[in-house]
Structure 1
Amino acid sequence: MRRLPLTLLAASLLLASGIASAANTTIPATAVKTAEQLRDKAMRDDTGYRIVTSLTTEVGPRLAGSEADQRGVDWAVAKFKALGFDKVYTEPVTYPKWVRRSEHGAIVSPFPQSMVLTALGYSPGTPRGGLTAQVVKFDSLDALKAADPATVKGRIVFVDYRMQRYRDGHDYGVGSPIRVQGPVVAQAKGAVGYLLRTAGTDPHSRTPNTGVTGFRDPAKAIPAAAISNPDADQLGRVLAYGKPVTVRLDLDCGIEGEYTGANVIGEVTGAKHPDQVVAIGGHLDSWDPGTGAIDDAAGVAIAMAAGKLIRDLPQRPDRTIRVIAFANEEMGLWGGRAYAGKHADEVAKFQLGTESDFGAGKVWRMSASVKPEARGAIEQIARVLAPLGVAYDAGRPGGGGSDLSQMHGKGMAALSLTQDGTKYFDWHHTAADTLDKIDPEELAQNVAVYAAFSYMAAQADGDFGSAPGAFAKDGAGE
């Protein structure tokens, strides 16, 4: 046989290698059938609801850095073990410790009356006896940014933007920056305090939505709080009289050093590729007014229950199912950023991942950021999820959820599984975030979605494209 020249032989080998590396990722028919069985079993299973009931009852609110933080970690470790996960461990996460003790507010003049408000994360306290100053109102964050500092200096800024309900919750994309960035902008222009109409959608309840600000340096922070929709309406009416309006804030809160909490992780070890993982999870912390049911005990329960259903199969999955209960998502994705920092070098071993952090409404949309050769496998997953009412949006990227967005940013292939958030911001970060807001059947649908997709990803022939920097150009998927 005639020998090929060396250069031609090398080119042939490279071509063959390229063809192999570009092979389509597929999911075997047997795995699809098992996923369908998992899906149907999950819809009849109450494990997720029992887990969320346990967390919200036995631990309750879990403000990061509080005494309940450690109780939550202990609970998660014990729950993973009780559910039969093969490996349970923690990874430390250090962050500023912010505390809330008390909060009061009132219109002092021209028409004295109290206001219902809640201090925002990283807000400092007011001086003893409170802070009293004239209010200046803006209709938007952009208007505040454009304001002459002379109109703001020495005053309490009030940004009056009313969020609307949407199935995908997209108006939070306006409300959240008003809460996070607004106080920082106001402080830089010389304001002495900051108020916003609550970043929430309940028009009637006097339960303002708390949340974090963008303050990081206590020396460059001003007292900041959210007032409920009815109180914002009232303040707006008083301002409409055209007279100077004075408000008093009395906040006892602030940063007290640092605290080290933990991400809590449970694994169902893969039988063939134990070092390759499908990552799912939720965040363990919550704000303190409610019991953190929809934000995010539900997410923790969904992921734990999905992992438990896969663990109970007659055979272990080919790849490891890793469930992560993240620390301190609420005040800056501390758990997610710590996790990504620790595991960035392993990103190629992450098969696929996403986090549940948008309540417990039914999942209605799936999107994905994967390599082109894995789109067929995503379509296979979509067909299994379709009977649950989940539509696949092939033109939309996947972001991985809140904390796992950090691993996605390192190059992890990711899904977004969007829940129905029509009423989510009625309760989000409020005293109304309690177990009664969770429908057991809707929660079971979430578990079915997570169990089915996780198993199929674990059994796939091929990968979904995770690699350092792999999805840098695909945009935000949340």
Structure 2
Amino acid sequence: MRRLSLLVLALAAHTAFAAPAPTRIPDDALRTAAVLREQALADDTGWKVVESLTTEIGPRIAGSEADARAVAWAQAKFRELGFDRVWTEPVSFPKWERRSEKAEVLGTHAQPLAITALGGSPGGTVEAEVVRFADLAALQAAPAGSLAGKIAFVDYQMIAARDGRGYGPGGAVRSRGPSEAIRKGAIGFVMRSAGTDSHRVPHTGITRYDEGLTPVPSAALSVPDANQLARLVARGPVRIRLALDCGWDGEYTSHNVIGEITGRSLPKEVVVIGGHLDSWDLGTGAVDDAAGVGITMAAGHLIGKLKRAPKRSIRVVAFANEEQGLYGGRAYADKYGDDLKLHQIAAESDFGAGRIYAFNTGSPAPEGSREATRQIAGALAPLGIEYAPTQGGPGPDIGPIAAKGGAWAWLAQDGSDYFDLHHTADDTLDKIDPQALAQNVAAYTVFAYLAAEAEGDFGSRPKEAGAGK
């Protein structure tokens, strides 16, 4: 009897400390997802949402009157699409305004230049000789004081790629170039746009000035104008005048707008999908990021039409002010970072409207959810989406909560032409292919539904202090 008791105790201890069962997707959920996938491909809700936002609101730079109208629009649209719960959460940030901008070559070869102020630039008019640098490294290598009284021109050419890998070095010129130029003595900064097009439309975007430096007027040239200026510099000294009327103007409070489809049995646990509501002010913010808002609103709407709600809630977030510093994503992570176990997984659509070609998930503890990830990948395969188990990462606004330990999903969009349009006046509705948009909606619908139905989790865990990012 004693031996039997010991055996029972040993078995109980083994059960208590055994690894949890791997996360998996039930067969009936996979069958429902297959039906949802086909419904989404034939549905035009995503297109209608994008058309509505870009037409009725248009450009919506953070802190503008249009920003406020976009928040009201998003609340109304969530309700129109049948979301059970709709609410807003405040997001505060400094307000930057663009009023006017102009640049021109002076002297023998006088001519206008197509430019746009970089977000965060101060206003002011500077007139000086241009010094050209092939890339950021060349500017960094310039001797101290060598740009005193001059305007730095960084002429780095971005390369197009499906995964947008060229944006890393291109974006670094915009974010770090002005501060480097100031340290060398420059009174102004211009750059070849961080873009891959050949149109005479410059690309804006946020820049930062290192602490302790006095900001100088900073702008981006369109790609053809950068080519033109480079040719002129090759002929001899060139002076330009850069006149910007822009700058910071106090604080502003916008909002994350959230819609939720309530889960049937675990309503406090959420699958989060979304895009960012703000845009830059040059175009109408169609690919960046009305598309992401439309894709994820439509996915939530289609899941909400099911007769039987998913096990967990589907939460769609229209994030505030992503463009100037991930303010909405950071505010969301600050609010919900202590509830990571209630966040099943999160994904953001913020890379245009090209077809999704790859899928993966990640988290601090991904091992137990690999089978479920493979099952979701299988349900996405008919859409032309590959399983990429060693690739990917969280979207921009998902990054802050992922950094705290939240699980993320990566639905990789084809960005081959994304940086032709990014942050320009060309970012308009006509650039979106409705069929590609529908494929995105189908992918997000399938992913979100199956993640919500999973038996088990995807590894959201608070990261230990000092753990790597």
TM-score by length of structure 2 reads 0.96
Match of 1:174 in 2: 169
CA shift, 1:297, in A, is 0.2
Task: Give the secondary structure class of the aligned counterpart of 1:151.
Answer: coil
Match of 2:16 in 1: 17
> In the aligned structure 2, how far is the partner of 1:471 from the partner of 1:28?
35
The counterpart of 1:223, out of the listed 198, 211, 217, is 217
Match of 2:301 in 1: 308
Aligned residues: 467
Match of 1:372 in 2: 367
TM-score by length of structure 1 reads 0.94
Contact kept in structure 2, 1:409 and 1:471, CA below 8 Å? no
CA shift, 1:14, in A, is 4.7
CA shift, 1:219, in A, is 6.6
AA matched with 1:15: H
Match of 2:348 in 1: 355
CA shift, 1:367, in A, is 2.1
1:26 aligns with 2:24: yes
Q: CA RMSD in A?
A: 1.9
CA gap 1:109/1:43 in 2 versus in 1, 3 angstroms: same
The counterpart of 2:331, out of the listed 338, 348, 369, is 338
> In the aligned structure 1, how far is the partner of 2:327 from the partner of 2:241?
33
Contact kept in structure 1, 2:182 and 2:213, CA below 8 Å? no
1:48 aligns with 2:46: yes
Task: Give the secondary structure class of the aligned counterpart of 1:195.
Answer: strand
Contact kept in structure 1, 2:145 and 2:183, CA below 8 Å? no
1:187 aligns with 2:179: no
CA shift, 1:23, in A, is 1.3
Task: Give the secondary structure class of the aligned counterpart of 2:145.
Answer: helix
Match of 1:2 in 2: 2
Note the alpha carbon deviations across 1:223-270, whole angstroms, 9 max, x for none. Answer: 1100001100010001101x2211110000000011000000000011
1:58-73 equivalence runs, <5 A: 58-73=56-71
1:57-456 equivalence runs, <5 A: 57-126=55-124, 130-203=125-198, 205-215=199-209, 220-241=214-235, 243-370=236-363, 371-396=366-391, 398-456=392-450
AA matched with 1:18: F
Q: Unmatched 5+ residue regions in structure 1?
A: none
Note the alpha carbon deviations across 1:306-361, whole angstroms, 9 max, x for none. Answer: 00000000011110100000000000111111111111101121101110000001
CA shift, 1:109, in A, is 3.5
Task: Give the secondary structure class of the aligned counterpart of 1:150.
Answer: coil
Task: Give the secondary structure class of the aligned counterpart of 1:149.
Answer: coil
AA matched with 2:218: A
Contact kept in structure 2, 1:411 and 1:471, CA below 8 Å? no
Match of 2:37 in 1: 39
AA matched with 2:459: G
> In the aligned structure 2, how far is the partner of 1:18 from the partner of 1:344?
27
Q: Unmatched 5+ residue regions in structure 2?
A: none
> In the aligned structure 1, how far is the partner of 2:351 from the partner of 2:12?
48
CA gap 1:290/1:28 in 2 versus in 1, 3 angstroms: same
Note the alpha carbon deviations across 1:418-467, whole angstroms, 9 max, x for none. Answer: 11111111111000000000111100000000000100000000001001
> In the aligned structure 2, how far is the partner of 1:59 from the partner of 1:236?
38
